[in-house]
Amino acid sequence: MRQITIIARRELTAYFTTPLAFVFIAIFVAMTGAFTFYIGRFFDRNQASLEAFFSFHPWLYLLLVPAVAMRLWSDERKSGTIEQLLTLPITTADAVLGKFFAAWAFCGIALALTFPMWITVNALGAPDNGVIVVSYLGSFLMAGAFLSIGICMSALTRNQIVAFISAAVVCFLFTMSGLDLVLNFFRAWAPSSLVDAIASFSFLSRFEAIGRGVIEARDIVFFVSLMAFWLFATVVAVDSKKSG
């Protein structure tokens, strides 16, 4: 646990040593705002809720979270520092978790900086703040799930761009798997149990449920076990690929 904290602290600091972190946070905050007001028609809705705000999170994460995750392992392999890191007295799992928590904390910081939205909606009306808290929690969990996919893709290649694109594609599949666009493709031939299984992997339907203020244990279990799965895959990928 001590080792994980030390690694996470180093990684989090590494984000902020380049202007990239600030650019990322600025883009995230600006985009959530722009989407909420222009595309989400925040004022026209005439509702004191952040539903419009949160409904764009999956789409923003789709592009931004792979960008946060892409350098985590591919950069280590490209610059050779992976050999330095993994010959310190730590396990591969320590390193994977340390990096993951750092990236997740970074997403948390970006998410927290959208607080002016919360203030705005409270100033304009009387929203259900319970729903908003649950939505923030759901959004944070979803960011973690996207990240765990991104970090695994990053462990599979030395090239950050490849890591970014493959992470975005896999995240896209997970986001979309509940939509008819994807499901119709499977309905044509697959048994309905498989179609249901695929649909159940959808981030979107889970996140919509959370957005209504209903956070169920099974949704939390879904996101957490998804993260556990991808992080485990990352450990396997790092171990098997480190010689390359």
Partner 1 sequence: MSAMVEIDRLSKAFGPIVAVDNISLTVKKGEVLGFLGPNGAGKTTTMRMLAGFLTPSSGTAKVCGHDVVEDPIAVKRVLGYMPEGAPAYDDMTVAAFLSFVAAVRGLEGADIQRRVHEISETVDLNGMLDRPIEYLSKGYKRRVGLAQTLLHDPPVLVLDEPTDGLDPNQKHQVRSLIKRMAAEKCIVISTHILEEVEAACTRAVIIGNGKLLADGTAEQLLARLPDHGAVTIECAAEHVDRVTASLGKVSTVGRVAQIDLGPGRNGVRAHPSSGQSIVEAVSSALRADNVPFAEVYRHRGSLDDVFRLITRGSDRAAA
Interface ranges with partner 1 (CB under 8 A) = 3, 6-7, 10, 13-14, 17-18, 79-81, 83-84, 86-91, 242-243
How is 12-40 classified by DSSP, letter by letter?
HHHHHTSTHHHHHHHHHHHHHHHIIIIIS
By C-beta, is 193 or 243 nearer to partner 1?
A: 243
State phi, psi for 80 to the nearest 5 degrees.
85, 0
DSSP label at 188?
T
By C-beta, is 6 or 209 nearer to partner 1?
A: 6
CB 194 → partner 1: shortest distance, Å? 36
By C-beta, is 63 or 90 nearer to partner 1?
A: 90
By C-beta, is 91 or 129 nearer to partner 1?
A: 91
Structure tokens at 239: 């171990």
The closest alpha carbon to 151, from 226, 93, 99, belongs to 99
CB 71 → partner 1: shortest distance, Å? 11
CB 228 → partner 1: shortest distance, Å? 23
CB 75 → partner 1: shortest distance, Å? 9
Structure tokens at 160: 């950050």
Cβ atoms within 10 Å, residue 231 = 21
84 CB-near residues (< 8 Å, 6+ apart):
none
CB 240 → partner 1: shortest distance, Å? 10
Cβ-in-10-Å burial (0-12, 13-18, 19+) of 239 comes to middle
The rounded distance, in Å, linking the Cα atoms of 132 and 213 is 7
CB 87 → partner 1: shortest distance, Å? 4
Radius of gyration of the chain (CA): 19
By C-beta, is 2 or 217 nearer to partner 1?
A: 2
DSSP label at 116?
H
By C-beta, is 48 or 93 nearer to partner 1?
A: 93
